[in-house]
């Protein structure tokens, strides 16, 4: 009898130039989730935050290894004053443990900052200011890296794909703020992992009628009550659930944001998916938000972005 090899994925999105949040998530994954087969990143590595090159360099290391990004570069990035020597050493080991395990797609901020405008509506003034700042800060090799990123990747054998917003129109960067933003026919895989809204959520779609569409990863009181009534929004918050492969259901899972959560919780988000147990787990990681916020202010970026880091909204 052929035994299926378990594949374990850590999936994250919307790092947004926040290296302090990214380092905290990497440390958490290395300490609690290893072995990880792949680290999947669903776009928006840059934008808003003050460390776009550092975040790009770490992600490139995950994808290509030390031949593209030397360990001396990684060591310099993790040389943060709030970490002691033991913490830095452990963090370096954590990053090395994920070498060449990264698979990454691009988001709207990645493309805008690298000179490839998306087909989405015009950015608001704060986002545009941050993108313009990021354009000027990015190293040439990171601009080339961001330009080359695909907009979606499908994992046919495991039955899922990653996309920044929607699979049917990835270059449009539509916001999936609730279950009504998508339909069964526009989801091309059993599970679609996305980001973009910075709010963790999971929606279930049935083939004929959307009779099951509750968001199970966020509490109902975070939504407009009228939307909740229309969508039969779940009143229960859970941090994990199982994918039912026996039913013709499709799932859209928003993995939230590493670098700029907007669900009222400032802790960084990521999701773990086991392809054999079919279990999806939402994880939250506290990090040094004061440092990340101060870096944004010192870079001369809009003060609203520095406050968002602290508030998570």
Residue 201: its pLDDT value, please? Answer: 86
Sorted by sequence, the CB contacts under 8 Å of residue 141 that are 6+ apart come out as none
Residue 109: its pLDDT value, please? Answer: 95
The pTM of the full predicted model, rounded to 2 decimals, is: 0.90
From CA 225, how far away is CA 222, in angstroms rounded? 9
- Secondary structure of residue 299 in the 3-state scheme: coil
Strands 279-285 and 268-274: antiparallel
Domain residue ranges of the chain, discontinuous segments joined by +: 8-176+192-201+237-311
Give the mean pLDDT per block of 10 residues along the chain (313 residues): 67 97 96 90 96 98 96 96 94 95 96 81 84 95 96 92 93 84 88 93 74 47 37 55 82 94 92 89 94 97 95 88
Sorted by sequence, the CB contacts under 8 Å of residue 198 that are 6+ apart come out as 14, 256, 257, 260, 261, 262, 263
Q: What are 232-240's contacts with CB under 8 Å, separation 24+?
A: 239/281, 239/282, 239/283, 240/279, 240/280, 240/281, 240/282
- Quickly name the fold that domain 8-176+192-201+237-311 has: Purple Acid Phosphatase; chain A, domain 2 (3.60.21)
Residue 212: its pLDDT value, please? Answer: 44
Radius of gyration of the chain (CA): 19
Residue 269: its pLDDT value, please? Answer: 94
């Amino acid at each position: 009898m052929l035994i299926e090899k378990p594949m374990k994925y850590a999936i994250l999105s919307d790092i947004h130039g926040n290296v302090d949040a990214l380092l905290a998530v990497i440390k958490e994954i290395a300490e609690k989730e290893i072995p990880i087969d792949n680290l999947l990143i669903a776009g928006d590595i840059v934008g808003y935050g003050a460390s776009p090159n550092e975040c790009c360099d770490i992600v490139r290391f995950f994808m290509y290894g030390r031949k593209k990004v030397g360990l001396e570069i990684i060591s310099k990035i993790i040389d943060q004053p709030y970490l002691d020597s033991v913490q830095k050493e452990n963090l370096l080991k954590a990053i090395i443990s994920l070498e060449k395990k990264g698979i990454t797609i691009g988001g709207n901020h990645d493309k805008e900052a690298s000179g490839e405008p998306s087909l989405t509506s015009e950015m608001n003034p704060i986002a545009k200011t941050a993108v313009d700042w990021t354009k000027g800060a990015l190293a040439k090799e990171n601009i080339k890296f961001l330009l080359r990123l695909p907009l979606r990747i499908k994992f046919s054998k495991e039955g899922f794909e990653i996309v920044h917003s929607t699979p049917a129109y990835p270059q449009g960067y539509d916001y999936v703020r609730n279950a009504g933003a998508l339909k069964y026919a526009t989801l091309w895989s059993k599970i679609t992992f996305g980001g973009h809204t910075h709010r963790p959520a999971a929606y279930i779609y049935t083939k004929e009628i959307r009779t099951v569409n509750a968001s199970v990863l966020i509490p109902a009181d975070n939504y407009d009550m009228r939307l909740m009534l229309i969508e039969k929004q779940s009143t229960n918050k859970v941090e994990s659930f199982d994918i039912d492969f026996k039913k013709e259901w499709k799932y859209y899972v928003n993995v939230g944001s590493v670098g700029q959560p907007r669900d009222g919780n400032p802790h960084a988000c990521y999701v773990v998916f086991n392809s054999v147990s079919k279990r999806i787990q939402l994880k939250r990681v506290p990090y040094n938000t004061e440092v990340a916020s101060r870096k944004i202010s010192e870079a001369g970026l809009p003060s609203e972005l520095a406050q968002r880091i602290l508030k998570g909204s």
